[in-house]
């Protein structure tokens, strides 16, 4: 879904997903990008491959015991000083919780707080809540900017920098 917003913004885009069907559809819709199936564990990339890694609504589908490994892997494949971006559903937002609890796609979801994503390997980390991703209009963007420090948004994002 977010491909249309980032496609053309970077020299290359690689995507991974555990769903082979999702990989097929993404490759069909964005043939200049590279997509691979991924079943967990070590990411299929060399150390320091990317400037940016991005995971949107992924971690709540990962078993809690495997989350630290995925966070470390996102940092491992970053170049020094690269940026890891994680977007997740805000477990403190009651509407978000209701939507996740009633969504068939989220039947295995276990929501997590931003503190659960902080990696000891990260150089620095920053988090904010947001009402929508991407912001639907300038008004919501401004509201996110003003209120993002409060746990009100439907989602939150975490930015972490790989060690320099």
User: Taking the chain (164 residues) in consecutive chunks of 10 residues, what is each chunk's mean pLDDT?
Assistant: 63 86 91 89 94 92 91 93 92 93 92 79 75 73 81 88 85
What's the confidence (pLDDT) of residue 129? 86
Mark whether 10 and 55 lie in a shared domain.
no
What's the confidence (pLDDT) of residue 140? 79
Domain count, the chain: 2
Mark whether 79 and 61 lie in a shared domain.
yes
Mark whether 91 and 151 lie in a shared domain.
yes
Integer Cα distance of 91 and 85 in angstroms: 18
* Cα–Cα separations (whole angstroms), residue 89 to 12, 47, 129, 151: 27, 28, 9, 11
- Residues 3, 13 contacting (CB under 8 angstroms): yes
Mark whether 65 and 14 lie in a shared domain.
no
Mark whether 62 and 135 lie in a shared domain.
yes
CA atoms lying within 13 Å on the CB side of residue 92: 13
Mark whether 18 and 86 lie in a shared domain.
no
Strand order in the sheet with 78-89: 50-56, 78-89, 155-161, 124-130
Structure tokens that stand for 35 in this block: 């997509």
Question: In terms of residue numbers, what domain contains 66?
Answer: 47-161
For the stretch 128-151, what's the b/e string if a residue is b when 16 or more beta carbons lie within 10 angstroms of its beta carbon? bbbbebeeeeeeeeebbeeebeee
- Residues 95, 161 contacting (CB under 8 angstroms): no
- pTM of the prediction? 0.86
What's the confidence (pLDDT) of residue 119? 64
Mark whether 33 and 53 lie in a shared domain.
no
Which CATH number characterizes residue 148's domain? 3.40.50.150
Mark whether 60 and 16 lie in a shared domain.
no
Q: How many residues does the chain have?
A: 164
């Amino acid at each position: 879904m977010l491909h249309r917003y980032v496609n053309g913004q970077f020299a290359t885009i690689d995507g991974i997903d555990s769903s082979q069907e999702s990989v097929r559809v993404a490759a069909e819709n964005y043939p200049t990008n590279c997509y691979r199936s991924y079943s967990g564990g070590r990411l299929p990339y060399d150390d320091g491959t990317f400037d940016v890694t991005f995971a949107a609504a992924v971690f709540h589908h990962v078993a809690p015991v495997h989350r630290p490994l995925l966070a470390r892997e996102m940092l491992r494949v970053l170049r020094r000083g690269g940026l890891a971006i994680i977007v997740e559903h805000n477990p403190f937002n009651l509407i978000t919780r209701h939507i996740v609890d009633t969504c068939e796609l989220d039947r295995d979801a276990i929501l997590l707080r931003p503190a659960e994503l902080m990696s000891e390997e990260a150089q620095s980390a920053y988090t904010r809540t947001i009402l929508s991703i991407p912001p639907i209009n300038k008004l919501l963007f401004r509201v996110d900017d003003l209120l993002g420090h409060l746990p009100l948004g439907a989602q939150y994002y975490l930015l972490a920098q790989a060690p320099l």
